[in-house]
Structure 1
């Protein structure tokens, strides 16, 4: 018995010494950080759902206002939260090669169809895949896909009108998160897979069910994310996957069967499956991403030289399936989030809605009812509204990077006496949510104000303080598609439907704590009636 007590004491001492060494990493260099809880680090409040992810990162960001960067302990792993804009620029652009990769979230051997997509690929493989796919996301390709989006919008409007006309009150209260998720689902079904789906009528269709399961990041998946990022060897041994076999097999069979059918019947449709098939044959080439001088809007990001390289690499069918899946997952959640929060802001800011409706009517009059890619890109106030919605409600709370080779971050503050070296394998977090709501960059930051992005004011926005689609070579490849889809949906909806707050509209907004996604607690409710 005495021997057992001795061993327990020894183990406790070893654990204490281990944690003391681990949790002294930032202190040794004068890097400010919140005091960690043994084994849990700074993750306690997030793990026990005491706050949403936005509150968690915002609390870290504001705790030490004058630092260039601060420390964070994810359990026992150190990570750095970058606050200084010049340092952020260096990490994402100038010294990009030191921070080339995202942290591992899915093991490609355990989950090949999710782990080998563009988001999770690393090093040269990522560069080659980015170059392969980049030509599929230029403005000229988006112009070809716009009619598919418009057709889905017609379906949505017809269904909403029927519901309103059948109601006894001449209006319906709609959870616009559900509405925009179904719209995004049907757009992806059409633009990516060539399928005609009407999720507002067939509410439980397989495509919607599988997409919702694949793109909804629950608290369980949040824990898995941190577990894979911090304990990759253990998670690999346990062989735990993020997604069920049902979801994986559904998308695998859908993509491969569609490709095989088109190959055998020589079917050509200008959608994402076709572009992936062209990419596999090496027939996609990068071109100028503007149409008659019109780009996708202020929020759109430019493709770097990495994405414009010519690549002769041969990709497997599994690799192409993985790209189709990430296109679906990213488009399903992030685009629906942008649309639902934009609708919420239009409902609670009727003055903004009135100006936007006036611009839509002016566009209809000027173009004789014609609605195409150029006309939607030339709508200045529409771009201002969408840009501001993405500032206030960015789909990505931050950018994560992993250090691929040791890097000198410099000194955390003026009082530090030595530079902090971030080592290979350690994480970096760039807090988009906090930067977008920092009063130093955006006065009265919690106010929805599209005028920030007017021609007269946009020059006041400091470079690298507006990052809805990331920055540098690893920015979001689908920014043009996302912006086009959001604008098409808002345009068509406001053409026919007036939006206002309902009794269930959340004012002010409070976010759900049980999901990693941005979601309003109680739902994104608004009231809709047919516009006169």
Structure 2
């Protein structure tokens, strides 16, 4: 009996091996150049075993000799064959011109086990995605964001006061943590209509929830890897992008916020007001999309999660680079002080958006440290279509469901598009130079129809935070500052390995 069982197991292993081996030869049979890969995990071996950070992994793909000077190259993520796009014109064809065939991301969250992730704008597939996107787009118009500006600025002023006290007390603080206090309060106010004041209560559940989402323990790293690279296994692994304790907390808070808003009749022009309006329209049958409580909560949750992490990282990496180049920091601080004086000590929406050098600095930060080092899509064909041809870039025809990856970090650090790419140089984005940036090579917020809907909000949040941080203070390296920067090898959303430590001094 035992012998029979062992024989069955051995046979299954042999069959699986030869299947994987055959699958790994897909591009060779199709006569398509490909990056050689591990039979079991494909081209993400280094990431799977935490040998390298995701930005370095993507750069290895981008610069692999197998794809040199080619518009695309074959690759594998675990057992799934995929295409890596390396030509900016092909990038624009996939993400913009033929968006209708690439409107879905390859990644996946499990609707039954992880409903808040699966129902939000980032993860949903067409046609639900398009309906939600259409409804949410008005939330992020310039007019709406301008109306929310005072809420962001109020938190920025609290950040400045907090830094004052921190400096006076001689405390040593990790910079990303400080920026996270700020973004937590901003997003809590805008998305949930609640004043949290993380500067006085750093152990509040909003902050702890945001931190736990991006605490890349081994289990969280496995979850992110499954969601982004092995979506078919997500239900089997019961992988949850929104951990259960975070989900329960947001359910409680969202329910409370909505009920209180409905009772009071108050109008703050924040996300809660917009979502309530959507649900009311849905209840009346004025929309084709049913805005359930689950769907509304999903949008609010991803708005918080994305806003908390991306803006705080952008701020922290900006301060790090400025600390290493004091002349650049001096120039930015002069712009900040000039605007502050011109506006008589009151920051306005128009003033922050007029700050040319601040925009240049932040854009350069996002070039060097894009939140996600790659973008992903999958081919979605009409029933009558048999494949998607990559002509005129090549003869290969992509089958239904094949993933396509765009190495954002590779483009961002390619000297062909950004000379001396490892140098932090805001002048790349000056009014005189930004027109020289090749379209399709800069994508910190994605490209095309599925670009980040909250891009303007995220940039505004980071700008206001940096304004108030540097208004009366400056930063410089200390003995704990990591030079050169090293990124966390487990973090798919890029993070500094071990944090960013700088001295904060009164100006």
TM bracket (short chain)? over 0.9
Match of 1:408 among 380, 386, 389: 389
Shift of 1:226: 3.8
1:215–1:332 contact (8 Å) kept in structure 2: no
Corresponding residue number in structure 1 for 2:461: 485
Which has the higher mean CA deviation after the structures are superposed, 82-91 or 196-205?
A: 196-205
Shift of 1:10: 4.7
Match of 2:291 among 315, 321, 325: 315
Corresponding residue number in structure 2 for 1:360: 336
Shift of 1:445: 0.7
1:493–1:7 Cα change, 3 Å: closer
SS in 2 for 1:473: helix
| Structure 1, unpaired ranges of 5+ | 284-309, 414-418
> What is the rounded CA distance, in whole Å, between the counterparts of 1:24 and 1:488 in structure 2?
51
2:107–2:229 contact (8 Å) kept in structure 1: no
Corresponding residue number in structure 1 for 2:151: 148
2:216–2:490 contact (8 Å) kept in structure 1: no
Residue 115 (structure 2) pairs with residue 112 (structure 1)? yes
Alignment of 1:291-302 (within 5 A): none
1:422–1:487 Cα change, 3 Å: same
Shift of 1:32: 2.7
Match of 1:83 among 81, 86, 89: 86
1:244–1:457 Cα change, 3 Å: closer
Shift of 1:529: 1.0
Residue 260 (structure 2) pairs with residue 249 (structure 1)? no
Corresponding residue number in structure 1 for 2:305: 329
SS in 1 for 2:26: coil
Shift of 1:320: 0.5
1:411–1:420 contact (8 Å) kept in structure 2: no
> What is the rounded CA distance, in whole Å, between the counterparts of 2:434 and 2:233 in structure 1?
48
Which has the higher mean CA deviation after the structures are superposed, 337-346 or 66-75?
A: 66-75
> What is the rounded CA distance, in whole Å, between the counterparts of 1:267 and 1:39 in structure 2?
56
SS in 2 for 1:197: coil
Shift of 1:337: 0.9
1:409–1:222 Cα change, 3 Å: farther
The TM-score with structure 2 as length reference comes to 0.92
SS in 1 for 2:449: coil
Corresponding residue number in structure 2 for 1:259: 258
Residue 213 (structure 2) pairs with residue 210 (structure 1)? no
Alignment of 1:102-251 (within 5 A): 102-167=105-170, 172-228=171-227, 232=231, 234-237=233-236, 239-251=238-250
Q: Any idea what the Cα deviations from partners look like across 1:401-432, whole Å, max 9, x if unmatched? A: 1111231123776xxxxx21211122111111
Corresponding residue number in structure 2 for 1:523: 499
Superposition RMSD on alpha carbons, in Å? 2.2
Shift of 1:150: 1.5
| Structure 2, unpaired ranges of 5+ | 382-386
Corresponding residue number in structure 2 for 1:291: none
> What is the rounded CA distance, in whole Å, between the counterparts of 1:493 and 1:227 in structure 2?
37
Shift of 1:460: 0.7
Corresponding residue number in structure 1 for 2:384: none
Which has the higher mean CA deviation after the structures are superposed, 223-232 or 250-259?
A: 223-232
> What is the rounded CA distance, in whole Å, between the counterparts of 1:234 and 1:511 in structure 2?
27
SS in 2 for 1:90: helix
Q: Any idea what the Cα deviations from partners look like across 1:421-457, whole Å, max 9, x if unmatched? A: 2111221111111111111101111111111111111
Corresponding residue number in structure 1 for 2:38: 37
> What is the rounded CA distance, in whole Å, between the counterparts of 2:214 and 2:307 in structure 1?
9
Match of 1:474 among 437, 444, 450: 450
Which has the higher mean CA deviation after the structures are superposed, 453-462 or 320-329?
A: 453-462
2:374–2:409 contact (8 Å) kept in structure 1: yes
> What is the rounded CA distance, in whole Å, between the counterparts of 1:118 and 1:4 in structure 2?
46
1:365–1:31 Cα change, 3 Å: same
Shift of 1:350: 0.9
The TM-score with structure 1 as length reference comes to 0.88
How many pairs align? 496
Q: Any idea what the Cα deviations from partners look like across 1:201-256, whole Å, max 9, x if unmatched? A: 31211111122223445443332344356655554245443433221111012112
Corresponding residue number in structure 2 for 1:17: 18
1:383–1:14 Cα change, 3 Å: same
1:311–1:457 Cα change, 3 Å: farther
> What is the rounded CA distance, in whole Å, between the counterparts of 1:279 and 1:266 in structure 2?
16
Shift of 1:488: 0.4
1:131–1:311 contact (8 Å) kept in structure 2: no
Match of 1:92 among 86, 91, 95: 95
1:522–1:479 Cα change, 3 Å: same
Residue 346 (structure 2) pairs with residue 370 (structure 1)? yes
Match of 2:322 among 346, 351, 375: 346
Shift of 1:131: 0.5
Shift of 1:492: 1.0
1:232–1:157 Cα change, 3 Å: closer
Alignment of 1:387-402 (within 5 A): 387-402=363-378
SS in 1 for 2:499: coil
> What is the rounded CA distance, in whole Å, between the counterparts of 1:427 and 1:239 in structure 2?
22
> What is the rounded CA distance, in whole Å, between the counterparts of 2:249 and 2:12 in structure 1?
48
Shift of 1:2: 8.4
